[in-house]
Amino acid sequence: MRRGLALLLGFVVLLTIPTGAASSSPGEGGELRGDLDGILEDPRLGGATVGVVVRDPRSDRVLYARNPRTRMTPASNAKLFTSVAALETLGRDFRFDTEVLTTGDRRGSELRGDLYLRGSGDPTMLAADYEELAADVAESGIDVVRGRVFADDSWFTGPELANGWMAVDEPYHYAAPVSALTVAPTDDYDAGSVVVRARPGKPDRPVRVSTSPPTGAVTVVNRARTTRAGSAESLSVRREHGSDRVLVSGELPAESGERRFFSSVPDPTRYALDVFRRALAEHGVSFEGVGTSRTPEQARVLAEHRSMPLGELLTPFLKLSNNGHAETLVKTMGRRVLGEGNWTAGMKVLRSELESLGVDPGGHRLVDGSGLSTLDTVSPRQLSLLLDAAREEPWFDTWYAALPVAGEPERLVGGTLRGRMEGTAAEGEVVAKTGSMTGVTALSGYVRTRSERPLVFSVVFNDFLGAAPRDVQDAIAVRLAEHGGDVSSGRGDPNAREGSPPATSEGRDGSGAEVGGSSLECSWIKSC
């Protein structure tokens, strides 16, 4: 089906829409266009780059477009491309493996040889998972290792930070280094980060600080003081750029609750090894030291942890917009397909998968999987085409369910849209991916209209000043959800097929045959 869809898309004759102009399909009245034009007249968008595309996937018509082909920074909308490519390449059932191996011989409770902790990039590894691996080693009867414990992160190669990431982001958890061995501090799975916990002490005494999980992978420098109850709070936690020193400074009033801060760690492999060696010691397993090394080919597995399947991982990845998950999947695609676990190979695989889905490989530039890079550039049209093409794929329902839902308060349902569009026609009817960086905000996904018609939309704003005008994007989504009229030439019938559109409209190949749409109803969003 994917190849067939790509072939059909290759014959599509597209509407010619001048840059900066807005357009709707011939069958669409001017009301929707006028309303969207009015919303986009917001003065905060003055001088900004604005890109909008609204498509009717059943007829393949563009209902509205403004700067549809203008390439813009997508921020986390890039995760739409990454997640789709990962599903195509790895499949919904793909799992990461983390193993403990050895080449040593057993002599009773002694292992005469080394242990190897080998990872394949699992971003969901918690301290508890490393504890279970250590418990498995101990339960096998080993309590003395006459050798060292080595970390093997060789599954991934190349730099741990992607091209175009800002140096100012490096200390923060959302820009953590990407390694084949890592630790996530909570079940949000922000791999490569640690939680710094701060509690007030007695007035005029230092704030009490600890890390979760306990680790020596960062050095906490505590300069924060406890002040009298009711005073102002000015607590700050930040890792020094290029260092493992996490500085805790400022003031925390007495009787305050615990404060939690996330910090990236500079060396995620060292972090994982530290957590694992502590777990071995807690289970009574002694060893002669630690280090890093590749696992010998003849090594046998003593213990293994398998991650949740990719289809399940998509939920925290997309709902919470997890950058580390995106980059791990890029490197994993490169390793699995081309034998190289780096960004260069992974992005090559990603571009190939996108091309097979009808996304023009020459019309965008993606250098990472998360959209954190300032070098990424994509057009709203390409985002809309990807969203449209995804509807026909066998994994679509899994992917769609992992996208944020407008106004849904449950964190792993509403995700990054849980606090937006509440109490409007869009609540529960807009399912879309957000994107946010300084001067960038994006919202691309699906909306069910009042007439039960599915629409695909992409709204990307770049180069605005001040706070992100997300409310303008929300207003567009709400207006689409409220739409109850004709979105094709079906004269108000939401289930009607496209009438006789001109051969120049999207949804036609060179012979005039219709592409897309269906007279059968599989679901509100998919076609048969």
Query: What residues act catalytically?
Result: 76, 79, 321
- Answer for the pair 219, 246: CB distance below 8 angstroms, yes or no: yes
Task: Sheet with 245-249: list strands edge to edge.
Answer: 219-222, 245-249, 236-239
d(CA 414, CA 424): 15
Buried b / exposed e along 491-505 (16+ C-beta atoms within 10 A): eeebebebeebeeeb
CB-based contacts of 164: which residues, under 8 Å, 6+ apart? Answer: 367, 368, 372, 373, 374, 375, 376
Give the N- to C-terminal CA distance of the chain in Å, as an integer.
11
Which tokens in the block code for residue 192?
């490569």
Question: Measured between alpha carbons, how far is residue 437 from residues 74, 138, 462, 527 in Å?
Answer: 9, 46, 9, 34
- Complete DSSP assignment for 110-156: EEES-EEEE----TT-BHHHHHHHHHHHHHTT--EESS-EEEE-TTS
Strand order in the sheet with 144-145: 105-107, 110-112, 144-145
Compute the distance between CA of residue 162 and CA of residue 24 in angstroms, rounded to an integer. 39
CA 485 from chain centre, in angstroms, equals 35
Task: Round to whole Å and give the CA distance between 330 and 343.
Answer: 6
- Residues 24 and 32: beta-carbon distance below 8 Å: yes
Provide the residue count of the chain: 528
User: What's the token pair of residue 193?
Assistant: 């980060």
Q: 3-state DSSP: the chain helix, strand, coil percent, rounded to 5?
A: 30, 25, 50
Phi–psi pair at 165, nearest 5 degrees? -75, 140
- Residue of 86, 157, 165, 76 whose CA lies nearest to 329: 86
- List the structure tokens of 416: 């990054």
- In one letter, which amino acid is 260? R
Residues 329 and 96: beta-carbon distance below 8 Å: no
- φ and ψ of 236, to 5 deg: -140, 140
> Residue 164 carries which DSSP code?
T
